[in-house]
Amino acid sequence: MRSLILASLVIAGPAFAQGRITEADVRGFLTRQEAAWNAGRLDAYFAGFTPDASFTDQAYVGDKPPVRYGTSTLPQARTQARKSLQGAKPRETGRILRIAIAADGRSARVDSRVESVVKSRRLCAARVQTLISAKGGLRSRGQTDTFIKCPK
């Protein structure tokens, strides 16, 4: 019996060492991400992204496919956030719609709805992020926000 347990640990060892993403990990990451943004701690917020992360904004135009406004790199997104939030207290609330963890447990796709209020302007978006298991925890590869009409 002891050798069976040891053999199981040897086979499963790489998965344990690399750490499999769980739904709780994803929810915790998103909670910390939202808290950092709402506190205006942009350094903490952007620390949750990989160096090659991309940030895409797009919008629906009727029943047609989304129209892209543009895509930013991590440094560009950080600069844009600092400019747009200058002197403002951001407020963003998110609701997770779906978490899909890859079969190997090393990445997860998260679909959510977010509502942001900045300088009395209210924006709503469908957000998609891909999270990966990285040294030191989860990191986002970036996000795509597709702006939608806010519910009343």
Number of domains in the chain: 1
In a domain, 119, yes or no: yes
Give residue 89's pLDDT.
Answer: 83
User: Would residue 113 count as lying in a domain?
Assistant: yes
pLDDT tens digits, one per residue of 4-37:
333 433 333 333 345 799 999 999 999 999 999 9
- What gap in Å lies between CA 14 and CA 64, rounded to an integer? 45
4: in domain: no
Between the two ends of the chain, the Cα-to-Cα distance in Å is: 61
pLDDT in tens, 105-122: 999 999 999 999 987 889
The residue with tokens 């797009």 is 58
Q: Are the beta carbons of 94 and 112 closer than 8 angstroms? A: yes
CATH number of the domain residue 65 falls in: 3.10.450.50
Give domain status of residue 15, yes or no.
no
- Whether 11 is in a domain gets the answer no
pLDDT at site 120: 81
In angstroms, how far is CA 85 from the centroid of its own chain? Answer: 19
In which domain, by residue range, is 136 found?
20-148
Other CB atoms within 10 Å distance of the CB of residue 145:
21
**Quick check: pTM over 0.75?**
yes
Looking from the CA of 152 toward its CB, the CA atoms found within 13 Å total 0
